[in-house]
Structure 1
Amino acid sequence: MYLRPVHAEHHLPTLRKFIRQNPLGILTTAIDSPLHHFLQASHIPWLLDVSDETSETELGTLRGHIARANPQTKAIIHDLTQGSSTATTPRLAKDILVVFNGPAQHYVTPKFYTETKPATGKVVPTWDYAAVEVYGRATVYFDTKEPATDAFLSKQIADLSQFAETSIMHYDRPWSVSDSPANYVGLLKKAIIGIEIEITEMGGRWKMSQELSEGDRAGVVTGFEALGSSVAKEIAESVKERAELAKQKKT
């Protein structure tokens, strides 16, 4: 991701909050395989673990799971089983990438630039959006005979369900994995593998018209608000928030 300084976000608590608000990340791998594409990507919901939520230096760990039938899974397992590793929880040799996208993104028309367009005409369209990218080393839990695999998957699906039911759905009485028959859950666990990512690098990009003049930025906000859609209204709020943050950084 191109992290232009004016759009870049490196504050880890902010990045952690973004991931938890938008947990469906795109897992991207680059694996040499005779049967599958070198580059593969899958949408996976993730949990982010950190030991100190107030820390501005701790990167943390991502936990997720993916269908065993997924071609990306097959490439991952093939890569691990063809190596010389005898570890019960093998780790991929190459880094992986997970990208988290914000729910609101929108085309920005030059007509919004009410200051520069009438003055010089030197304006072009663009796109406003927010995203966070995470790099790391992946440990993979795929061997159904290993106790570590069952332990990881049991905790993963229980924690993910709890997180989604309470933090996303806000249920007072959340659904729990234990509500399903144990033998049914056991069968489903055999159809997935677990992925744990030790994060080595994380960065975000909030491209929300921060680089514009105050007049053009005001035009962007007015333009989006006039569209009336929920997405446009959210973009307008983000543009105002990012402008305020940029102003605070200068003082």
Structure 2
Amino acid sequence: MYLRAVHAEQNTATLQQFVRANPLGIFTTAIDSNAFPFLQSSHIPFVLDVDESLDQTHLGVLRGHIARANPQAKALIEHLKSASGRGGDSANDSRILSRDVMVLFNGPAHHYVTPKFYRETKPATGKVVPTWNYSAVQVYGRATIFHDTKAAATTAYLDKQIRDLSLQCEVDIMGHSEKPWQVDDAPASYTELLKKAIIGVQIEIKDIGGKYKMSQEMPAGDREGVVEGFEALESDFGTEMAKIVKEKMMMSGN
């Protein structure tokens, strides 16, 4: 991700909150395989764990799961079994990928920006071009894959993962704080069967970066024009974009 200084978000806590507010990440791997594509991506909702008790900033651990039938999952399992057979990762943990993975989280509001919005520069020089405003956070880390259905660690991981993810989505997204749907509301035999059809993905975050590309690079008059332009669209996206651009203007003091 290109992190131009004017757009980059430097506060780790803000980046972590962005991930929690937008938990659907694009999980990307690069794995050599004769049977599957080298590059693969899947949309996965994640739970972010952050250890606040540490003296230094903890970037966090992402927890998710994907379908065992997913070609990306098959490539992951193939890679781990092959490495373990060669004695590569088995000395440490045969569930840990040898290469880093990437997860991209996108903000819900993004929009094309027409040069017609720029009320300062366009009339003065005409030296403006279209762009696209958006927000995103990118994470790199080392992944542990829980895929052995006979392993106690896999059972424990998946049980905690699906319970925590369900509660997070029920409360934080749906607002069901009093009576959220819980895994135990479904028959145990049914959920146990479904757990065998997924694998766990746990990512220890090694690097996190993000940006709000919201016209901060433009002069104050142009940014005001962007806010007015988005508001004039009278759409949900337009209203949200105008709000974020305005917030970034206030943070910059202009």
TM-score with structure 2 setting the length: 0.95
Which residue does the alignment assign to 1:40?
40
Show the counterpart of 1:75: 75
Partner amino acid, structure 2, of 1:161 = S
Tell me, yes or no, if structure 1 residue 177 matches structure 2 residue 189: no
Partner of 1:221: 227
Deviations 1:134-177 (A, max 9, x none): 00000010000100000000000000001111111111200000
Three-state SS of the structure 2 residue aligned to 1:224 is helix
Q: Match of 2:21?
A: 21
2:250 match: 244
Structure 2 counterpart SS, 1:183: helix
CA distance in 2, matches of 1:49, 1:227: 38
Percentage of identical aligned residues: 59
Matches within 5 A, 1:1-251: 1-52=1-52, 57-83=57-83, 84=87, 85-86=89-90, 90-171=95-176, 172-247=178-253
Shift in Å at residue 190 of structure 1?
A: 0.3
Q: Within 2, Cα distance between the matches of 1:210 and 1:57?
A: 28
Shift of 1:57: 2.1
Q: Deviations over 1:13-55 (max 9, x none)?
A: 1111111110000000000010111000000000000121898
**Gap regions ≥5 residues in structure 1:** none
On the 8 A contact 2:115/2:129 being kept in 1, the answer is yes
Count residues in correspondence. Answer: 248
Counterpart of 1:121, as a letter, is G
Contact conserved, 2:81 with 2:94, CA < 8 A, in 1?
Answer: no
User: How far apart, CA to CA, are the structure 2 residues paired with 1:10 and 1:98?
Assistant: 18
Displacement of 1:10 in angstroms is 2.0
- The residue type equivalent to 1:67 in the other structure is A
Letter in 2 for 1:236: A
SS of 1:134's partner is strand
Which segments of structure 1 move beyond 6 Å, counting only runs of 4 or more?
Answer: 53-56
Distance 1:200 1:163, change over 3 A: same
Distance 1:193 1:19, change over 3 A: same
Over 3 Å counting, the alpha-carbon distance change for 1:89 and 1:186 in structure 2 is farther
C-alpha distance in structure 1 between counterparts of 2:67 and 2:78, whole Å: 15
Structure 2 unaligned residues grouped into runs of 5+: none
Q: Structure 1 residue 193: deviation in Å?
A: 0.2
Counterpart CA distance in 1 for 2:19 and 2:207 is 14
Normalising by structure 1, we get a TM-score of 0.96
For 1:178 and 1:190, the matched residues in 2 are separated by: 17
CA distance in 2, matches of 1:131, 1:93: 26
Deviation string for 1:87-114 (max 9, x for gaps)? 6661000000000000000000000001
What secondary structure is seen at the aligned counterpart in 2 of 1:82? helix
User: Aligned equivalents of 1:175 and 1:93: distance in 2?
Assistant: 37
In 1, Cα distance between equivalents of 2:53 and 2:66: 27
